[in-house]
């Protein structure tokens, strides 16, 4: 009977040790889960910030494209108002002398 009690005591001690290991492992896993959740939250925050920055850049791009289009329309309007001339005449004017010859 004494041996049965000793065996039972040994098994109970083994169960206590196993239970302690399980508890420690469970605590470590919970801590790792908390770290992973915090990292996930940080990543979500960073992603949201990047989305906001991306949207702001898209808005700036669209505004610049609109300004470029407006400038192109104005430039075309100005070019249409300029008198048209023969390209050869324009080159002669650039030379600064009538007939295009140097004096």
Over residues 80-93, the pLDDT tens digits come to 998 887 666 555 55
Total domains present in the chain = 1
Place of tokens 């939250």: 41
Examine residue 86 and state whether it is found in any structural domain, yes or no: no
Phi-psi region of 85 (alpha: psi -120 to 50; beta: other; left: phi over 0): beta
Could you tell me the pTM of the whole model?
0.55
Domain for residue 32, yes or no? yes
48 in a structural domain? yes
Structure tokens at 1: 């009977």
| Cα→Cα distances 101→85, 86, 87, 89, 98, Å | 19, 18, 16, 13, 7
**Tens of pLDDT, residues 46-73:** 999 999 999 999 999 999 999 999 999 9
Please check whether residue 102 lies inside any domain of the structure. Answer: no
Q: Is 31 left (phi over 0), alpha (psi -120 to 50) or beta?
A: alpha
Look up the domain containing 4 and give its range.
1-80
- Does residue 73 lie within any of the structural domains? yes
């Amino acid at each position: 009977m004494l041996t049965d009690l000793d065996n039972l005591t040994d098994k109970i001690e083994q169960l206590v040790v196993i239970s302690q290991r399980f508890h420690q492992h469970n605590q470590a896993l919970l801590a790792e889960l908390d770290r992973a959740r915090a990292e996930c939250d940080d990543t979500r925050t960073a992603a949201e910030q990047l989305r906001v920055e991306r949207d702001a850049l898209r808005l700036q791009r669209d505004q610049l494209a609109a300004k470029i289009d407006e400038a192109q329309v104005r430039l075309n309007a100005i070019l249409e108002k300029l008198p048209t001339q023969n390209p050869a005449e324009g080159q002669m004017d650039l030379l600064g002398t009538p007939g295009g010859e140097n004096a």
